[in-house]
Amino acid sequence: MAEAIVARKSFRTQLLINQDGPVSPLPIQKKKKVCKKVTIKKKASFKLFQMLPFELQCEIMKFVSFNDLCAMQSTSKHLKQIASENLVWKAIYQNHFNVSEEALDEYSFSIIKNWQSHFKIQYLLLKQKYIQSEKMICESKPQSRFAHTAAVHNSNIYYIGGQMSEARSDEIWGYNPQQNNFQQVALTNVSNTEIPPSTFDCYSFPGIDGKLPKFARHQSAILGNKVYSFGGYDYTYFYNLAVFDIVARTWTYPEVKGDIPLPRSNHALTVIGNKLYIFGGSIGDKPDKYTVTNDFYILDIPTLTWSKIPTSPETPSVRVGHVMTSIGKNLYMFGGGVWGKEMGWTEQSNDLYIYSTEKQKWTMMKLKPEEKPAVCTYPFVFTLNNNLFLFGGAAITGTTVTNKLYMWDVIVQKWTEMTVAGEEISARSIGTASVVGDEVFLLGGYCGGLLAPESDFYKLKITLPFKKECLGIN
C-alpha cells in the first residue's frame, strides 16, 4: 500500500494520505528511528498524492475537516487549488451541516455559486458573534412612520408613503448610506390635479400620473430603474399598479391587461426575474365590504399582463400581515393571519411556505412549534448570504411586539434565533429592512404607536473577521 506522510514545521500533527481512506491526523512519533523511516524529503512532498488523478484528489479532500482544509490553502499552490474547488466545499457544507443530497440539490442548485464563501459566512454567522447593531443619527430625516415600502437602487434606498398615526404620506425619500443623509424626491411630472372625493366604488379610481397618493399598506419591488407599487389605501381609494421611475423621477399608473387583481392592502409582493408576484391581503375597508383573500397573481412586467394562478390544496390559507421575498427561483412567504374590524385577529400563523416558480407548487415547511420563530405578523424581512431573515413582528404568543432576529437557512431548512451585539433595538413591526452591501437598514415601525424619532432608524452590520479574499471571492 502506497502512503506518504506530510510534515511541516508549523503543523503539530501530520497528515496521512493513503489509498484506503481520507486524510487523517497522526500523532508525531517520538522515536527518531521511526521518524527516519517515514519522513519524506521536502522536494518529494505529496509526490504520490499528486500522482493521483485530479478528480480523485478532490474526492479525498471532501473528507477533510473545515479547519484542515483552510490550513491546506496556505500550504502550497497545488493544495490551494484543490482546497478551493467548489465541489469540495459543497461536500464540506453537506457533511458539516448534515444536509441530505435531495435538499442540497433542490434548494441550492440555482442560488449558491460559491460554496466556499457560503460555507465560511454561514459557519461564522452561526457563531453568533458577528452581527452588530447601530443607532443611526441623521441631521434631517423623514417623520417616523410605518407601513411604508423601501427599494434599493445603486446603493441608495428609496422610501415610499407610509402612515404617521392617522395621517398618511405622499412623499418619496431617498437615503444615501455613504453620506448618511436623507433627501426628499421631487417628481418631474408632478400634477396639481386633486384626487376626487369618495365614490361608492373605492376600487375604480385609476390614479393620476404625477400625483402620489397619501397612502400606506401598499407593497413594492424594484426591477431595473423602476419601483413597481401595488395596492395601498388613502382612506378613500385602493390603488392599482403604479411605477416610480428613479432615473426620470416620475410617478405613473400604466395601463395593464389580463386578469387584473383588485387593489388591496396588507398583502405581500416580490419580484423574480421580470415577474412580479402578489399574494393575499385585504380587499375593502367597510365591515360589509371587507374580505381577506389568498388569491395569487403574477404580472409579466415587459408586457404589463396580469394572470391569476389557480388555487390548489397546497395554496396557503387567506391572510394579511404576511411577508414574502425571493431567493433564487423560489418565493418565501412567512406568517400572516386573519384580521377583521369587529373581531380583530382570529387567526395568526408562524408557518413558512415556499413557492417554486419552476414547479409552480407551494410547499409548507413542516416544523415542530418549538422550531418556528415566536413571531407571526408584520415582521421586517430581508435576505443576506442566501438566508431569509426576520426581525421583530407581532409575537405568536399574544399581542405584544418583539425585537428578535431569526435566520432561515434555505439549505439546512432550519430557523436559528440570532444574537445581535451593540445597542439593543426596541421592539417593532411593520417597518422596512433594506440591504446595502453587508449592511441592513431598519426604518420605522410600530409598537403600540409611532416609534420615537430618535429610535426609529437602525443599522445591522455583518462584521466578519477577515477580508473577502479569504472567502475565495475574486
**240 and 285 Cβ atoms separated by less than 8 Å:** no
- Does residue 89 lie within any of the structural domains? yes
pLDDT given at position 6:
37
Grid cell at residue 168: 398618511
pLDDT given at position 33:
46
Residue 183's Cβ-count burial label (10 Å; 0-12, 13-18, 19+) is: middle
- Does residue 273 lie within any of the structural domains? yes
pLDDT in tens, 152-182: 999 999 999 999 988 999 999 999 999 999 9
| Residue 262 sits in the same domain as residue 411 | yes
Given 90, 125, 160, the domain boundary residue is 125
pLDDT given at position 314:
95
Whether 437 has a pLDDT exceeding 50, the answer reads yes
**Averaged pLDDT, 309-330:** 95
| Residue 236 sits in the same domain as residue 276 | yes
Given 71, 93, 125, the domain boundary residue is 125
Q: What is the DSSP letter of 455?
A: G
| Residue 264 sits in the same domain as residue 395 | yes
pLDDT given at position 436:
96
Alpha-carbon torsion angle 25, 30, 36, 40, nearest 10: 20
- Does residue 412 lie within any of the structural domains? yes
- Does residue 9 lie within any of the structural domains? no
pLDDT given at position 465:
66
Helical segments of 52-125, H only: 54-61, 66-72, 77-82, 86-97, 101-108, 115-125
| Residue 320 sits in the same domain as residue 423 | yes
pLDDT in tens, 442-457: 999 999 999 999 999 9
pLDDT given at position 45:
52
| Residue 117 sits in the same domain as residue 136 | no
Given 125, 140, 164, the domain boundary residue is 125
What CATH number is given to the structural domain containing 390? 2.120.10.80
- Does residue 16 lie within any of the structural domains? no
Give the rounded percent of residues in the chain with a pLDDT score beyond 90.
Answer: 60
Rounded-to-integer distance, Cα 349 and Cα 354, Å = 15
| Residue 359 sits in the same domain as residue 264 | yes
Give the pLDDT band of residue 106 (cuts 50, 70, 90): low
Grid cell at residue 15: 497528515
Q: Which range, of 18-27, 331-340, 395-404, 442-451, averages the lowest pLDDT?
A: 18-27
> What is the span of the domain harbouring residue 136?
131-471
**Averaged pLDDT, 280-304:** 91
Residue 250's Cβ-count burial label (10 Å; 0-12, 13-18, 19+) is: middle
| Residue 366 sits in the same domain as residue 348 | yes
Alpha-carbon torsion angle 199, 203, 206, 212, nearest 10: 90
Q: How many domains does the chain have?
A: 2
193 vs 95: which has the higher pLDDT: 193
Q: What is the DSSP letter of 122?
A: H
